[in-house]
Amino acid sequence: MRGILNINKPAAISSYDCIRQLKPVFNPKKIGHAGTLDPIATGVLLILLNEATKISRLLMSLPKEYEAKIRFGIATDTDDITGRPLETTPVPNITATDMERVLSERFSGELAQVPPRYSALKMSGQPLYKLARKGVGFTPQARKITIYELKLLGWHPPIAHIYARVSGGTYIRALCRDIGRALSSAATLSHLTRIRVGNFTIEQAYPLSQLLKNQVNPAELLVPIEQALDHMPRMIVSSEQAQQLLQGKAIIVHSSLVISHLRNNCQISNSPTAEYILAQTDNQRFLALARMKSNWLFPERIIYADRKK
């Protein structure tokens, strides 16, 4: 049993709590997730079972879509409403049109974003949130992100409701913080729902409570690894070629045999995994991550290699 489970994470629990609760249901050898959702957040959380844990970074790099609510007039140490208040300021006296203009002019395309101090990113081998809890003074290093689309869904002071389609690695908490600063105010995230990761949508997500009641056959809910990676180019290889890749050997191929898959306008051209190719056999017993150089295919990682029955 292997694959990806799209669950609708409830609020007030961590992503790890979801894994801990689901482990007895599936009883996998390995289990993980692709992209943490903070306890305050709800929505799409991809749970990875067995060999699917090997593609975590491929899924984490996919574009994501969110709906969020921003609370103006307050800044917190975590950049969300659960944190310790650091500053209070007047709520911006602006119209929805004014806010839409700021969002389009200041928050579009490739940007440099400073992650929240309370995050799982590491500095000198230590997670930032641990350093922050110890009171260590530091400023996280800015990272490049891409905002594909940002829309104002509603403005009822002090709350702004937004929709965001962003690259992997974008912190919506930090985006809310920066929107507040752009409007000469303070702001913090007060509500967050992840509605899409790549081609996984919230409409397709299963409520965690339903899975825990054992009302469904968990194995039937899993998305196959190949389907989860259908945005990536791939190449069909023979059993003999698969055996060579399995042994760590490069094989000679023709670039015209690469099948390109781009569905639902999934923007991944800037992804750090965009240069990879999936090598797969016709019988779907072998799947590997590979790189192509000239007419050679080099194995990067074997995702699975099933033995013949």
Active site residues: 38
Strands 200-201 and 143-156: unpaired
Contact between 10 and 38 under an 8 Å Cβ cutoff? The reply is no
Phi, psi of 168 (to 5 degrees): -60, 145
Report CA 217 to chain centroid distance, whole Å.
26
Looking at the chain, list the stretches that DSSP marks H as alpha helix, in order from N- to C-terminal side. 15-26, 56-60, 96-106, 128-133, 172-182, 208-212, 225-228, 239-246
Give the E-state strand segments of the chain in sequence order.
Answer: 3-9, 31-33, 41-49, 64-72, 74-76, 85-88, 109-113, 122-123, 126-127, 143-156, 159-166, 187-197, 200-201, 206-207, 234-236, 251-252, 276-280, 286-293, 296-305
With CA atoms as reference, report the closest residue to 43 among 193, 170, 144, 180: 193
∠ CA 186-105-163, rounded to 5°: 70
Phi, psi of 165 (to 5 degrees): -115, 115
Phi, psi of 248 (to 5 degrees): 85, 10
Give the pair of three-digit tokens for residue 270: 């800037």
End-to-end CA distance of the chain: give it in Å, rounded.
16
